[in-house]
Structure 1
Amino acid sequence: MIEIERKFLVKNDSYKELAFSEKRIVQGFLNTHPERTVRVRIKGEKGFLTIKGKGNSTGTTRFEWEKEIALPEAEALLKLCEEGVIAKKRYEVKVADHIFEVDEFYDNNKGLTIAEVELTDEQENFLKPDWVGVEVTGEIKYYNSQLSRNPYKDW
């Protein structure tokens, strides 16, 4: 239940031709408190409820609990969420031994594309593809919970 990940801005869309999966995601937040977030997500045709804890000092590691829920329940919970629902398309790209999740945002966050890679420990080495740019791990403004409150279009 510990999530270790690093985040990067994406320089171009060459990842799309390498993707083995793509799904539309709609998500909202029931709680965006700095110590914890509670997220409702619809990914494709499945619903999820996720709780994330506060990140460590580098922003790479934090508690995460996720449970699949019925799609009608996720749709109902989305109606209770705080203002600022996020829409994006997620591409999954295998790079050597890792899978990068690349999120292309829509609506108020259009123009922002972020790649994340999950690791087994903070010091784990991984191959950084050429379409990955500046690292933004730990920069709170790039967290989805913050993008829902302060969208990219307002920067």
Structure 2
Amino acid sequence: MGIEIERKFLVVSDAWRGQAHRSIDMAQGYLNDAESVVIGRQNTSVRVRLEGDEARLNIKSREMGASRQEFDYLIPVEDARGLIALCVGGTVIKRRHYVLHEGHEWEVDEFLGDNAGLVVAELELDSIDEIFAVPAWAGAEVTHLQRYYNLNLASHPFSRWSAAEREEA
């Protein structure tokens, strides 16, 4: 069992683009719905992801915040395609860019489809109190805001957010 320690920030400029050293397209869906996880009927989110020519099954504990249990497994691509067809809510489509900044690799997710217009940067850490430099292109931290979790974006995409939801960070 792994522990994922992740911080998430809104992206406020395109300055990161010149620092990206690789990118990959991803499509993912969830086998359970966001509401069941948020209100506690289920203790995990179960995700299927196609990323480039690989596929993964991922299970995360329902804790909100920077630290959660995470189980991640490679699965056959054809199995992933079949599982995505069974997913509830929509499919999250994004292009992930990897950006090095002061000793850490940031993942900048540029959302497409129903979530187009949303760009979020994530940073995985080794410990909850690890010190890191926040790049100038990273804005408000949204780690603790559930609406920015991919699980929620699948069922309540950015294109359906109200003006207040878009401004509130």
Q: Give the alignment of 1:18-97 within 5 angstroms.
A: 18-32=19-33, 33-34=36-37, 35-55=43-63, 59-97=65-103
Determine helix, strand or coil for the equivalent of 1:93: strand
Which runs of structure 2 are paired with 1:133-148 in the superposition (5 Å)?
A: 133-148=139-154
Match of 2:63, SS state, is coil
Please tell me the residue identity of whatever aligns with 1:147: L
Q: Secondary structure at the match of 1:127?
A: coil
Bigger helix fraction: 2
Following superposition, the deviation at residue 121 of structure 1 comes to 1.1
Residue 13 of structure 1 is matched in structure 2 by 14
| 1:129 paired residue number | 135
Gaps of 5+ in 1: none
**Counterpart for residue 115 of structure 2:** 109
Q: Secondary structure of 1:111's match?
A: coil
Q: Deviations over 1:65-86 (max 9, x none)?
A: 0001111111111111112101
Secondary structure of 1:146's counterpart equals helix
Give the 3-state SS of the residue equivalent to 2:74 in structure 1: strand
SS at match of 1:55: coil
Q: SS state of the match for residue 81, structure 2?
A: helix
Amino acid at match of 2:130: E
The one-letter code sitting in structure 2 at the alignment partner of 1:77 is: L
* d(CA) in 1 for partners of 2:126, 2:85: 35
Letter in structure 2 aligned against 1:136: V
Q: For residue 105 of structure 1, what is the amino acid of its counterpart?
A: F
Q: Quote how far apart the aligned CAs of 1:21 are.
A: 1.1
User: How many aligned positions are there?
Assistant: 153
CA distance in 1, matches of 2:60, 2:10: 22
**Cα distance in 2 for residues equivalent to 1:31 and 1:97:** 36
| Identical positions, percent | 41
Amino acid at match of 2:155: R
Deviation sequence 1:84-110 (CA, Å, 0-9, x none): 101000000111221100000011111
Q: 2:156 & 2:83 partners in 1: Cα distance?
A: 21
- How far off is 1:28 after superposition? 0.3
Deviation beyond 6 Å, 4+ runs, structure 1: none
